Amino acid sequence: MLPIDLSGRAVLVTGATGQLGRVMVRTLACAGADIIVHYNSNVKQAKTLVKEIRNLNREAIAVNADVTDRKSVDALRKRAEKELRAPDIVVANAVIQYQWMTVLQQTLTDYENQYLSSVKQSVLLAQTFVPGMIDRKWGRVIGINTECSMQYSKSTSAYIAGKRGMDGVLRVLAREVGEHGITVNQVAPGWTISEDHPESDASLDYRARVPLKRRGTDREIANVVAFLASDLASFITGAYIPVCGGNVMPAI
């Protein structure tokens, strides 16, 4: 067996109550990690996740924060250090939802919000938590990107602009902190099956374009996050890893 073992590690997952976030939390806890469950408004789901994690004999706390605000992120750090401990692994998963429109229709506020939740969140999380990782000489930063960043589909411009900005920040960060034993990578899901987004006939055209002829599952996304968080991925950094059945394929 070649297990993913995160025993003794603390993980912060932002947007942990979301469709992908909640499965990441459960998967990381099953691998042995203690979890800092970040949420913005869904306190009920956050409390449920904490209970689930503790039932696995792992430690967990739920922390409300605005990950686009420095004071709020710093308060998150202080609570984590007081009630659990500083995270060794940070998963930047939170995103601001909005209605997708064409470039000519999309509001500037939507572009600004995607910048905040993709670029600014990544910068604030790095500046707040990576110094501690440097002191400990070990750390993981994992950004949740998207296959859309390589597709340029209609009505996705604000989302892509934010996520490609995130990509730039995290790749530079990977070069800057690698000497300290810290890896920085990105997972890029495709259109994923989750609790609120089950399989349906509406995805027939999408599935037809995917080489594996299906949509991925939330657990398949979480498995890659767990792998990158582990020592099995100790020599991978600066990577953008599509988890989309081959729907996009980065070229060399």
pTM for this predicted structure:
0.97
Amino acid, res. 250: P
**Alpha-carbon gap, residue 136 to 34, rounded angstroms:** 17
Mean pLDDT for each consecutive 10-residue tract of the chain (252 residues)? 94 97 98 98 97 97 98 98 98 96 98 98 98 98 98 97 98 98 98 86 88 96 98 98 97 89
- Of 39, 115, 159, 240, the active-site residue reads 159
Q: What is the pLDDT of residue 201?
A: 75
Domain assignment of residue 173, yes or no: yes
Query: For the purposes of burial, counting CB atoms within 10 Å of the CB of 165, is it exposed (0-12), middle (13-18) or buried (19 or more)?
Result: middle
Number of domains in the chain: 1
Domain assignment of residue 164, yes or no: yes
Q: What is the pLDDT of residue 195?
A: 86
**How is residue 185 annotated by DSSP?**
E
Domain assignment of residue 47, yes or no: yes
Kindly report the CATH number assigned to the domain that includes residue 147. 3.40.50.720
Q: What is the pLDDT of residue 58?
A: 97
What is the residue range of 167's domain?
10-243
The closest of 215, 98, 220 to 160, measured between CA atoms, is 98
Domain assignment of residue 107, yes or no: yes
The closest of 239, 187, 231, 237 to 88, measured between CA atoms, is 231
Examine the residue annotation and report whether 152 is marked as an active-site residue of this protein: no
Domain assignment of residue 252, yes or no: no
Domain assignment of residue 4, yes or no: no
Q: What is the pLDDT of residue 144?
A: 98
Domain assignment of residue 85, yes or no: yes
Domain assignment of residue 250, yes or no: no
